[in-house]
Chain A
Amino acid sequence: MTTSKLTTIDQVVGSLADGMTIGIGGWGSRRKPMAIVRAIAASSLSDLTVVSFAGPDLGLLCAAGKVKQAVYPFASLDSIPLEPHFRAARQAGLVEDVPFDEGMFLLALQAAAWRVPFLPTRVGLGSDLTTLNPMLATVTSPFDDRSELVAVPAFRFDAVICHLNRSDDRGNATFLGPDLYFDDLFLRAAPSRRYISVEKVVPTRDLLEEAGTELRLRVARMMVDGVIEAPGGAWFTSCVPDYERDEALQREYVGAAKSPDAWASFAATHLEAAR
């Protein structure tokens, strides 16, 4: 009997369908599952809803024409403040925009992970989020304060993809950089199709030593359906301590937003090669 969840990027992309809602882990241009994202960009999938603390994951999928709807609190490349491909898609009216506050986004993940329909918060009151984000509603406290608060509904994911530093073949995984970000919540928030790519697959008995401390063993196999060994799988985003962001390649990616020809050339070099 095999317990291994090792799979391939092709199998992962093959399990997705047009119109799905996909949650993507990482933060900005940090530890994004870009190997999987590139394969989605090169696939025939369409009309996706992307839910992300967004960076080049959202941008690349927009440039490839895969995104119907963007659910995001920001889109940034960190060292380059704005995401050029997402901007281009927005300014051309090609993407439906569902804006979030960063912390409100955490609540939508947490509500999904805890299987409650919504979580209440003060966040959003007075801002244009309550008018521009059609997912949000207001709720009145049932207690004596009778506060009018914002109800943040749980995300509903068809699939979640994250990139981590190490795992075993069953999906127990660890991050080795400064921050797990919200990857564990993304993986808890989806009922199925929970995929991680990792820099390196190691035997379970070596996982603790790789992590250095139990405190970094934050993704358990019960949260994961498929594992892909993908060295360099965060591509040009940072994946410390394995590698820093490839700033030169990120600049090349930004340059590809200048014209359709520039994008075609970039896609031919970097996306077709992913197939």
Chain B
Amino acid sequence: MTAHWTRADVCVVALAECFRGDGEIVANPIGTIPMIAGRLARATFAPDLMATDGEAALIANDEAFAWPDGRVVEYYNPYRSMFDVVWSGKRHVVMGATQIDPFGNQNFAAIGSDYSVPKTQLIGFRGAPGNTINHATSYWVSNHSPRVFVEKVDVVTGVGWDRAAAAGAAALEFFDLRRVVTNLAVLDFGGPDHRLRLVSVHPGVSVDDVVAGTGFPLTVPESVAETRTPTDKEMQLISEVIDPSDQRHVELPEEAS
């Protein structure tokens, strides 16, 4: 049986798996491949998830990016309401990261040693401090490299395990940092003192590839699984319903598989 899936499809499934068991909360994956993944999780093994239309509504549609037959609106959710969702903990976000360190501290605000005159100004803190301290958080990194996985981030926007622990009980109470899915692998924070640990490598990727792409010592278990591949039903949902315009291969071109 020849593979009929690509690396992008494997990443979609790996990100969908992040939402397994989450129940009736807002799955809020940010970015192209994560958004497809959230839709896939709901359409298959996590039917209770709620999802945004990217604007001011929670919608029931399986399609990720366009709703030719109209949106099925479940809830009016303007930006202000989103903070009610975030602070009540009813959300699992998947964010991107320009830098991420061994404990899961994330940076997407600015690059450089002097914050007052950054080498590169990025988007800002956005909602990362509030997200990470209030509900489940996972990350999507489409370019697993030592430039992203760094020993120390320049600015802590999203909070990692060590910083949450140091900030006290109120910081840890709802802290729930889960996984990092990249174009190469799935990782979690099951290493010593909640350090980043390799969980599985995507088909065609070696453990050495992941170690080489990580700018700090990575916890590698004795046996590392291969990330599961999409089922036929999942592939049909992804390619025919959720992402028929093939946005996922714009983010992660097909040659990767």
Q: Give residues in A with beta carbon < 8 Å to B.
A: 27, 54, 72-76, 81-82, 86-87, 90-93, 96-97, 99-104, 106, 121-129, 132, 147-149, 178-182
Contact = CB atoms under 8 A, between A and B. Distances in A.
Given A123-B129, A179-B79, A180-B78, 16 more contacts: A54-B124, A81-B123, A87-B121, A90-B121, A91-B121, A93-B117, A97-B115, A99-B109, A101-B128, A122-B171, A122-B173, A147-B170, A148-B169, A178-B55, A181-B78, A182-B79
Interface of B: 55-57, 78-80, 83, 86-87, 109-110, 115-130, 132-134, 155-160, 163-164, 166-171, 173-174
B131 to A, nearest CB: 9
Contacts, number: 142
Given A127-B156, A178-B57, A122 B170 contact: yes
Contacts of B166: 126
A74 to B, nearest CB: 4
A179 B133 CA distance: 26
A25 to B, nearest CB: 12
A132 B109 CA distance: 12
B79 A86 contact: no
B163 A90 contact: no
Contacts of B124: 54, 72-76, 99-100
B127 A82 contact: no
Given A126-B159, A128-B156, A27 B126 contact: no
Contacts of B79: 27, 102, 179, 181-182
A82 B130 contact: no
Contacts of A86: 121
Contacts of B163: 126-127
Contacts of B129: 101, 104, 123-127, 129
**Which 7 interchain pairs have the tightest Cβ spacing?**
A126-B159, A93-B117, A127-B129, A74-B124, A125-B171, A123-B130, A126-B167
A101 B127 CA distance: 5
Highest count of chain A CB atoms <10 Å: which of B56, B87, B129, B132:
B129
A104 B123 contact: no
B126 A102 contact: yes
A103 B87 contact: yes
A91 B116 CA distance: 8
Contact of A123 (B110, B122, B123, B133): B133
16 contacts: A74-B126, A81-B123, A86-B121, A100-B124, A101-B129, A102-B83, A102-B126, A103-B86, A103-B87, A123-B134, A124-B133, A126-B129, A127-B133, A127-B159, A181-B78, A182-B79
A92 B120 CA distance: 10
B194 to A, nearest CB: 13
